[in-house]
Amino acid sequence: MSGIVWALLGAAAAAILSGMGSAYGVGVAGQAASGVVSEDPSKFAKVLIIQLLPGTQGIYGLLVAFLTLSKIGVLGGQIAEVSLATGLLIFVACLPIGVVGLISARHQGTTAAAAIGIVAKKPEQFGKAMLFPAMVETYAILALLVSILAVTGIPM
């Protein structure tokens, strides 16, 4: 395979894996949110915010995918010459956000569902409840940073 294929695979992996994780996480949290709102619609805004937390990994993956596509010229319409070594480097650079995004979004989804349980019983503890799933975000942000630094730092 030529370098451009590996680079595109990297962009796809970043978007697909983190998107899958976010879809699962937001889905699980959404089920919990629906359960609470079916009994107490007044908690809609609070549970919606918590439900959205696992969605960020998908955005991070999209961001890295955009950076990669931009770097190899796919977005501008002029595809750059990418050697096999560079293509592989770009592919590996995209993996952190893809893999960590997938895993962290799944775990953030289950943590968010548990946090929604706190809001259901003690809505005044919303701030604390939000912190638990937010902690999982740390590792997605770290992976995002690594991917961005790596993708932008690879010489063409």
Partner 1 sequence: MSDKDYTYAVARIRALEVSLFSASVLEQLLACADYESAVSFLLEHGWGDPQLENDGETILKTEREKTWKTIREMVSDMTPFDVLSYQNLFHNLKAAIKGVCTDGVDPGLFYEGCSISPEEMVRIVKEKEFESLPEFMRQAAAEAYETLLHGRDGQLCDVILDRAALEAVRDAGEKSKTGIIKDYARSLLVISNIKMAVRCCRTRKTLDFMKRAMVECEELNVEKLMKAALQGEGAIRDYLNEAGFKEAADALFESSSAFECWCDNRLIETIRPQKYNPFSVGPLIAYILARENEIKTVRIILTGKQNGFPESAIRERMREMYV
Site residues, partner 1 (CB under 8 A): 28, 31-36, 38-40, 43, 110, 113-114, 116-117, 120-121
| Among 150, 152, 147, 133, residue whose Cα is nearest residue 15 | 147
CB of 140 to partner 1, least distance (A): 21
- Ranges of beta strands (E only) in the chain are none
CB of 135 to partner 1, least distance (A): 16
| Among 140, 118, 117, 113, residue whose Cα is nearest residue 128 | 118
Our CB check for partner 1 shows the closer of 39 and 127 to be 39
Q: Rounded CA gap, 82 and 98, in Å?
A: 21
Q: Rounded CA gap, 116 and 90, in Å?
A: 38
Our CB check for partner 1 shows the closer of 121 and 127 to be 121
Our CB check for partner 1 shows the closer of 2 and 34 to be 34
CB of 117 to partner 1, least distance (A): 4
Q: Rounded CA gap, 156 and 150, in Å?
A: 12
| Among 20, 2, 3, residue whose Cα is nearest residue 87 | 3
CB of 17 to partner 1, least distance (A): 20
Our CB check for partner 1 shows the closer of 102 and 113 to be 113
